[in-house]
Structure 1
Amino acid sequence: MFYAHSGRCEDLKSWQPLVDHLRATADLAASFGRPLGIDRLAFLAGLYHDLGKYSERFQQRLAGKDIHVDHSTAGAVEMMTRGAQTSPVERLMLELVAYCIAGHHAGLPDRKNETGAGLDRRLELDLPALDAAWKAELGELSPVDAVSLVPDVLKTFCREDADFSLSVLARMIFSCLVDADFQETEAFYDQLEGRSRDRAWPALTDCLPRFVTRFETYMAEKAGAGGDLNQLRGNILRHVRLKAKEAPGLFTLTVPTGGGKTLASLGFALDHARSHDRRRIIYAIPFTSIIDQTAAIFRKVLGDEYVLEHHSAIDEEKWQKGRKEHRQQADKLKMAMEDWAAPVVVTTNVQFFESLFAARTSRARKLHNIAGSIIILDEAQTVPRPLLKPAIRMLDELARAYGCSIVLCTATQPALGKDRLDGGLPLEGRELAPDPQGLATKLRRATICMIGDMSNADLTDALAAQTQALIVVNSRKHALELFQEAANADLEGLVHLTTRQCAAHRREILENVRTRLAEGKPCRVIATSLIEAGVDVDFPKVWRAEAGLDQIIQAAGRCNREGRNAPEDSIVTVFSAPDYPPPREIKSLMGDMDRMRKAHGHDLQSLAAIEAYFGEVYWRLGDNGLDAKQILGDFTHSSRGTDYAFRTVAEKFRMIESGMVPVILPWDDKAREAIRQLAVEGISSGKLARTLQTYVVQVPPKARALLLENGKAEFIAPKLRGDQFCVLTDEELYREDVGLMWEDAEYLSAEQLMI
């Protein structure tokens, strides 16, 4: 008898037979792949993924012998061997399955790699001999069987870029495999240990009648408030919902700030899902600063129990790297990541896109649940330009081959259509909003005024002259020093808002800001750009440090948002800050912005100006700048087979390249309890990471090293969690007004020694 997983040491009857695990995993993987049309490929990956466990060495390891055994490569070897006996297309399918099987623990590999992790290197290994029992229990894959493996999705491949399409197909097979493997193993150990866990989420189709009723009730209550703005928002919503019966695919929703984009896109998603039997709704947001805001709206409208909120503040994979290989499989699988099976998912752009390009199992396992979804990309213009080409190529693939409907939702629509961008998206005739040009005029709430230099003293004087005002600058350094200078002037209602504060703290700050604004109390906010995209605040006056046109218009969306004042009295002052040079990327966008001033200075907020601006930016960057890391070139093939660099691409596709590292703040009782639970072995790191994600501040690596060196922070439960959870232990370094002052770590340590 060959076993997949050990049970109680003294009772072999409690161990899981290998054939049971393989067939159950194959069936589950096939069920995940069926909506995508790849069930045969997923079944094959599941059936052969642990083929290497049919070896005496692995069975000895399972019985407790401390030896290393590669059990993931044998199935890949079998796929490649059988592929050599089939037609070229069928061989290609088996080759994709080989990548998936080889990577089902360590992650999708590169085909060629200087290290031993490359697929080619692994295929050449001297592997333990397999017992012939596997052929009797599983059956060999014959060449004729391979014919049925070619999925219908191949018919929709983009022939001029088939390799990228095939790489996405491999990712989808991989997702089905690893999610099935996680869940099947988890179920075995749950049964063995007498546990039960409810992984089931209701299907979106079953929830839709309730969702639509609740949505319409909610919107009726909002409409009851009356007013011209609410009437205009209602007209936009009705028009957008009428478009829901259009064929699935790519859409744009171009509505200026204040026009109700979030609820209009949700209304479209609900109706579109009902018309076209979509599987879930995924709402991707650019910044963690507004994910709580959007998730709260969705929970209020749809119900708490149906919405999954998934941030990216903590690297939820890193803890796995340091774990000892001989730990029980059950121990590892307690750490399984969410698989996005919820009917409604609210996440960040970082989590969404990096998962689509991920190699590791914990991030890739959710991909099969993205297929067949309605994806709303809020503030679509925020996708990093150096990654734009691979990102839109992925969106096109999801829409064309995997049944996704994708809405690019923004006030400043980037020029991503085929008519504006080489390799762009088929967006012609796919706008959901009624008369975007007219809306841009009707919903204009502010006037942009360009002036010259302003020092911190000038900005402090400007704040002093206003009871309520917002200043947005380009760096945390500028925001902090301006805040400190304004604080010395004793300005009432002064607020500092940057990523020095954890998200949970920023949420409290923003609630206080909204209250003060609504009550007419003094409220003077100094912030970085995190406040711009989608944050629901309304100031009578705004100052914005020079930046790109899209950022300036987003800042203008925080000025007179509810239209209570005349646009000509609601001034957005754009200034230069000579003492604080802008980051290189923003500086280059300022040049594009300057050219727009010359061509469209009379109306920088017009759609023509916005379209021309993005066209200018994309033209300047060119193909090399929009795929700066040459990701699309990492998927090629020749007569010798594919050369796909999954692991390399996963490392390249990083939407945030700040080089920052996380420090966790014991901000409130919830955070402190989760920190305490880090020492409890039975609680998964994944669960605790998700709890703690809103209590993280990202700091420079040298700053964190200084905190650790001076005893101001420590890694909690390092033997259990590795170096994943760095927690601030000296809470004096976290100030209520400005957040984490990591620069003070060494100074305070020396001061305490003198005392």
Structure 2
Amino acid sequence: MPYYAHSGRADDKSDWQGLKEHLEQVAALAGQMAEALGLGKAAMLAGRFHDLGKYTLDFQKRLTGTEISVDHSTAGAWHILQAVQGEDRFIAELIAYAILGHHAGLPDKRGSEAALTERIAGFKSALLDKAWRTEISADLSGLMPGFSWADTRERLAFQMAFCGRMLFSCLVDADFKDTEAYYSALEGRYPDRVWQPLQTLLPQFIAGFERHMADKKSKPSDLNTLRSEILAHVREMTREKPGLFTLTVPTGGGKTLASLAFALDHAQAHGHNRIIYAIPFTSIIDQTAAIFRDVLGDEHVLEHHSAIDEEKFDSRQGRESRDKLKLAMEDWAAPVVVTTNVQLFESLFAARTSRARKLHNIAGSIIILDEAQTIPRHLLSPAVRALDELARNYKCTIVLCTATQPALDERNFPPMHPAGLPLAGRELAPDPERLARQLRRVTIQRAGEMGNADLIAALEETPQGLVIVNSRKHALELFREAEAVGLTGLVHLTTRQYAAHRREILADIRQRLRGEAPCRVIATSLVEAGVDVDFPKVWRAEAGLDSIAQAAGRCNREGRRPVEASIVTVFSAPDYPPPSEIKGLIADTARMVDKHEDLLSPAAIAAYFEEVYWRVGIKGLDGKSILDRFRMDKTGTDFAYRSVAADFRMIESQMVPVIIARDEAAKKAVDELGIPEIPSGTLATKLQTYVVQVPLKARELMRENGHVAFIHPEIRGDQFAVLQTASMYEEEIGLLWENADYLSMESLLI
């Protein structure tokens, strides 16, 4: 009897996709994707056997509409493990993980019914029709890639597990695309997944960059002369061997454009496939993406981030409505990707198909990590190990780009420390210590304790000033008190406001600063994340030295004022004690004060990070024991893919989204939630800049009191929580979820 992979429309099955056809096409596509990774043969095997379990009568009945549950993923994994022996056994296990996970996500080796060991043990091979042996054949030898393998068991286990994720990525992307192509042809639609290759576009990109820089050269100044020197030196380094680099440039030195120039020239010299620019915070991603679009052209840049969880979306819902950018978010096929650290690193440790399918397109890329010091400390070791592996075996070049370099050079650690990278001689900037002196913009002062009254008095004497505190609570209460005494030009800036609103606020701040109008901003640390503002004076609540340095980057940013008059005042807030994490960093900073005259020098910053890493210790830099859950011995692998993915979270909190539909664009997107034909992913993209993240308990309380509701749950489930009580979002403050337990006046009106 004929066997099918997917059902069509014709009763005579003339338009159904044959199973052999599907397996061969997925094998060819997966092998093509993996060829440059050295995993072509293994990926072809994964593709050829991934749907072996469809050679059963039960699955064929399911295709005709019979309601029956069929596990079609275990058969192929079982066969591979039975058939492959010797050294290739390790790769066979990776193929088995990938096949088992090609729908539900990568499994753990053991520990649950869904784990590899349990599923293989429970498989009944007698259910398979022997007809598969006449349709499928494969060479099961010579699977080990010629990688630069580590010489310790721990590093080797991580490398092998990472290799498994890459195989998984190739398999699931190939499977999805072949299935999509079949149904697209059946339905007469042809989704646009074609992007021009980076290598084809590079002459155009470089010409655009040169034009952009020529416009800047028309405005001569000492600062622009120094920026030009930095840029020229960085571009001279582009022929260096691909791998790991640092770019240490103080705020104001033009590191964003310098890093882009390096990426373009380096890609041209070494044949890289794409440029990925990873940014720590969504609050500044649009700022960087706008620069890239201006230089490279809007149609070539994919901006990928979302404040609403994409993993809730059915990736096959409403195929016909998804546009090219939405499709590119699935596989990062665009030549230039601007994304967040969350998207990048959580994808590198993902088990779900929706996030992992892009991994093979990360290989062969130039990855610029902006503000590299923001990688969470409790995930630093596994994150660094992943970066090292991308550079070592997947032809990536990675640039750690920041004014406050996080001292990840392996020379700063004991031998074989998991957070150490081979960075000797890999600095792209010319003499970072000299640059720090030349680009010094501020004077740091320590003020001791300052209560809210002291801060308000200081702001009264300063028409334009910025106060940065450690919590939203402190920011709100300080703003309220300053407002009560009639301080003019007050602005409140926190994550209580949705991103589109913050952009409007920042535009207003910049206009006030340029026009010398009163501008007294009270903000949380979000303003430190590369936000382009320039204040004459800044006050910063005690924090880590890296945070203080970032705050200093908001003071005299353009260097138009005397250094001695551009004061960054560091104070302690007695009424708002910092959380324990920040307390430790404050103590680390204090130990630098007596050792370094200039706290903003690269030497001081490096010494600070060394102090932090020493205090936290090896276990603290892998606080979730991620590395410990990838083990190998002579009997095989023991990888906890699924549980690691659940624990590797860049942002750990019980925060959930609430949509604020004040703008017309947001209101329109909320109205479209009632149209089933529009996929949730498309609407999430439209709404991502209108979201405020709130504590889970606070959102539940708001729902109970009618202030928040899930819109069209019959279509969208609990994906879209929208604010119903408009008065809870104040223009100057943002969302006041602390008032969730009252009944609003709106709800009392009849």
TM-score, reference length from structure 1:
0.95
Cα 1:682–1:158 shift into 2, 3 Å: farther
User: What's the offset of the Cα at 1:598?
Assistant: 2.4
| Pair 1:743-2:738 in alignment | yes
Cα 1:125–1:681 shift into 2, 3 Å: farther
Determine the structure 2 residue equivalent to 1:120.
Answer: 117
User: What's the offset of the Cα at 1:159?
Assistant: 5.9
1:199 maps to amino acid: R
Determine the structure 2 residue equivalent to 1:310.
Answer: 304
Determine the structure 1 residue equivalent to 2:509.
Answer: 513
1:248 to 242, 245, 248: 242
User: What's the offset of the Cα at 1:318?
Assistant: 2.4
Determine the structure 1 residue equivalent to 2:376.
Answer: 384
Alpha carbons 1:666, 1:727 under 8 Å: kept? yes
> 1:479-529 CA deviation, whole Å, 9 max, x = no partner?
111111112222222111111111111111111111111121111111111
Distance 1:437 1:287 in 2: 27
Distance 1:420 1:95 in 2: 36
User: What's the offset of the Cα at 1:716?
Assistant: 2.0
Cα 1:49–1:464 shift into 2, 3 Å: same
Distance 1:667 1:100 in 2: 44
In the TM superposition, 1:510-589 aligns within 5 A as: 510-589=506-585
Distance 2:527 2:290 in 1: 17
2:274 to 273, 280, 291: 280
Structure 1 unmatched ranges of 5 or more: none
2:59 maps to amino acid: F
In the TM superposition, 1:601-616 aligns within 5 A as: 602-616=597-611
| Pair 1:462-2:458 in alignment | yes
In the TM superposition, 1:463-482 aligns within 5 A as: 463-482=459-478
> 1:390-414 CA deviation, whole Å, 9 max, x = no partner?
0100000000000000000010101
Determine the structure 1 residue equivalent to 2:338.
Answer: 346
Determine the structure 1 residue equivalent to 2:65.
Answer: 64
Distance 2:662 2:305 in 1: 18
Alpha carbons 2:365, 2:395 under 8 Å: kept? yes
2:364 to 372, 383, 390: 372
Determine the structure 2 residue equivalent to 1:47.
Answer: 48
Structure 2 unmatched ranges of 5 or more: none
Distance 1:644 1:676 in 2: 45
Cα 1:151–1:230 shift into 2, 3 Å: same
Distance 1:684 1:328 in 2: 6
| Pair 1:443-2:435 in alignment | no
> 1:548-574 CA deviation, whole Å, 9 max, x = no partner?
001001100100000011111000000
Determine the structure 2 residue equivalent to 1:396.
Answer: 388
Say what the alpha-carbon RMSD is for the aligned residues: 1.9
SS of aligned partner of 1:14: coil
2:101 maps to amino acid: G
1:724 to 707, 710, 719: 719
Aligned length in residues: 741
Determine the structure 2 residue equivalent to 1:98.
Answer: 96
> 1:726-754 CA deviation, whole Å, 9 max, x = no partner?
11122222121111111223223488448
Alpha carbons 2:306, 2:684 under 8 Å: kept? no
SS of aligned partner of 2:310: coil
SS of aligned partner of 2:26: helix
Distance 1:439 1:410 in 2: 13
Determine the structure 2 residue equivalent to 1:416.
Answer: 408
2:491 to 492, 495, 516: 495
> 1:407-465 CA deviation, whole Å, 9 max, x = no partner?
00010101100100233000000000001010000000001101111111111121121
User: What's the offset of the Cα at 1:116?
Assistant: 1.3
SS of aligned partner of 1:338: helix
Cα 1:332–1:291 shift into 2, 3 Å: closer
User: What's the offset of the Cα at 1:466?
Assistant: 1.1
Identical-residue share of aligned pairs (%): 62
User: What's the offset of the Cα at 1:700?
Assistant: 0.5
User: What's the offset of the Cα at 1:154?
Assistant: 5.7
2:600 maps to amino acid: Q
> 1:344-403 CA deviation, whole Å, 9 max, x = no partner?
000111111011001000000100000000000000000011111101000000000000
In the TM superposition, 1:321-336 aligns within 5 A as: none
1:618 to 613, 616, 623: 613
Bigger mean CA deviation after superposition, 524-533 or 395-404: 524-533
Cα 1:638–1:331 shift into 2, 3 Å: farther
User: What's the offset of the Cα at 1:672?
Assistant: 2.1
Determine the structure 1 residue equivalent to 2:31.
Answer: 30
Distance 2:257 2:283 in 1: 18
1:747 maps to amino acid: Y
User: What's the offset of the Cα at 1:256?
Assistant: 0.3
1:196 maps to amino acid: Y
SS of aligned partner of 1:727: strand
Determine the structure 2 residue equivalent to 1:358.
Answer: 350
Distance 2:712 2:82 in 1: 46
1:43 maps to amino acid: M
Alpha carbons 2:303, 2:339 under 8 Å: kept? yes
Distance 2:254 2:104 in 1: 44
| Pair 1:733-2:734 in alignment | no
TM-score, reference length from structure 2:
0.96
Distance 1:41 1:355 in 2: 21
2:687 to 661, 682, 692: 692
In the TM superposition, 1:266-277 aligns within 5 A as: 266-277=260-271
Bigger mean CA deviation after superposition, 147-156 or 627-636: 147-156
Determine the structure 1 residue equivalent to 2:77.
Answer: 76
Alpha carbons 1:156, 1:400 under 8 Å: kept? no
